[in-house]
């Protein structure tokens, strides 16, 4: 099933960037469009943050949080964004770490990488590099990254244990994660869990908060913190696009338990910070 999930996700995101819409058709990754009124993706980025970046970049963001704002980044650091899409969080990270730092973006979708590289050129940032690959097999050396960020992507992986092991591997001692993701506060209905469409829509693959913490600790991380940032109302008219195959009973069981969260953790050891925090 793992390859089926990966291909379903790849197709959804390729179509999303081709049509400049979300991964669920005309809606965002988690069911809403990227606008100020969206319960999922709206109001995540301030106008001052995206100043100087391509005008349509915010509209192609399919995330559920703003990891670059929630996680401090310091001048001179190396940042890796897993599932970087059209590149918004990578470009924001590059601005924060400055010319002495580096921002990598990793994505498996050719269409997304093409869009991201075009946005890099438009933004005139030279400390950015986009890599093709899978988040379960990061194409970077051991201990090469200060911070790993991700925006509503890890839930899409069918092998999260491997993802967390890879993140731990590429982080320097004392390195940290700043991840926005979809989680659940209780187990979801099995019918929803088995839906490939709901998986590609950021739902079926979501871990519970306890599962997320356990897997990070098992991978070696310390000081795990999970903070709920939004609770999704599945009674809204757009709920069907989030879990299109769910029954009314399954929607009722799931409602109130599907949330976006910010996850912090660190790798043991110490590493010197190279500069001041860019807020």
Mapped onto helix, strand or coil, the DSSP state of residue 88 is: helix
How are beta strands 145-151 and 171-184 bridged, if at all? Answer: parallel
In total, how many domains does the chain have?
Answer: 1
Residue 272 domain flag: no
Q: What is the pLDDT of residue 53?
A: 77
Give the Cα separation of 262 and 126 in Å (integer).
29
Residue 185 domain flag: yes
Residue 279 domain flag: no
Q: What is the pLDDT of residue 48?
A: 66
Q: What is the pLDDT of residue 257?
A: 85
Residue with the larger pLDDT of the pair 66 and 224: 224
Residue 278 domain flag: no
Residue with the larger pLDDT of the pair 47 and 265: 265
Residue 133 domain flag: yes
Q: What is the pLDDT of residue 4?
A: 67
Taking only the tens place, the pLDDT of each residue in 204-218 is 788 999 999 999 999
Q: Which residues of 197-217 are buried (b: 16+ CB within 10 A; e: fewer)?
A: bbbbbbbbbbbebeebbebbe
| pLDDT tier at 72, thresholds 50, 70, 90 | confident
C-beta of residue 16 within 8 angstroms of C-beta of residue 114 = no
Residue 31 domain flag: yes
Residue 226 domain flag: yes
Q: What is the pLDDT of residue 96?
A: 93
Q: What is the pLDDT of residue 148?
A: 98
| pLDDT tier at 45, thresholds 50, 70, 90 | low
CATH of the domain at 196: 3.40.50.150
Cut 0.85: pTM above it: no
| pLDDT tier at 57, thresholds 50, 70, 90 | confident
Residue 172 domain flag: yes
Quote the crossing angle between the two packed helices 110-123 and 2-19, to the nearest 10°: 40
Residue 181 is part of which domain span?
A: 2-266
Q: What is the pLDDT of residue 119?
A: 93
């Amino acid at each position: 099933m793992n390859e089926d999930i990966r291909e379903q996700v790849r197709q959804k995101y390729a179509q999303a960037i081709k049509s400049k819409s979300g991964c669920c058709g005309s809606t965002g990754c988690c069911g809403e469009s990227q606008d100020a009124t969206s319960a999922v993706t709206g109001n995540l980025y301030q106008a001052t943050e995206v100043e100087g970046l391509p005008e349509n970049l915010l509209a192609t963001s399919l995330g559920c949080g703003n990891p670059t704002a929630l996680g401090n980044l310091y001048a001179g650091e190396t940042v890796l964004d897993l599932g970087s899409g059209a590149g918004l969080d990578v470009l924001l990270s590059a601005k924060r770490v400055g010319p002495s730092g580096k921002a990598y973006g990793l994505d498996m979708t050719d269409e997304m990488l093409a869009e991201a590289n075009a946005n890099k050129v438009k933004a005139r940032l030279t400390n950015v590099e986009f890599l093709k690959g899978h988040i379960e097999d990061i194409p970077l050396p051991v201990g090469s990254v200060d911070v790993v960020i991700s925006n509503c992507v890890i839930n899409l992986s069918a092998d999260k244990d491997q993802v967390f092991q890879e993140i731990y591997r590429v982080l320097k001692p004392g390195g940290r994660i700043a991840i926005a993701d979809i989680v659940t506060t209780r187990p979801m209905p099995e019918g929803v869990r088995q839906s490939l469409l709901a998986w590609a829509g950021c739902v079926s693959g979501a871990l519970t908060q306890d599962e997320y913490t356990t897997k990070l600790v098992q991978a070696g991380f310390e000081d795990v913190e999970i903070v709920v940032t939004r609770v999704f109302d599945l009674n809204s008219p757009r709920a069907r696009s989030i879990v299109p195959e769910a029954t009314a009973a399954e929607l009722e069981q799931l409602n109130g338990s599907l949330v976006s969260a910010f996850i912090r953790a660190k790798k043991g050891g110490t590493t010197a910070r190279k500069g001041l925090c860019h807020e």
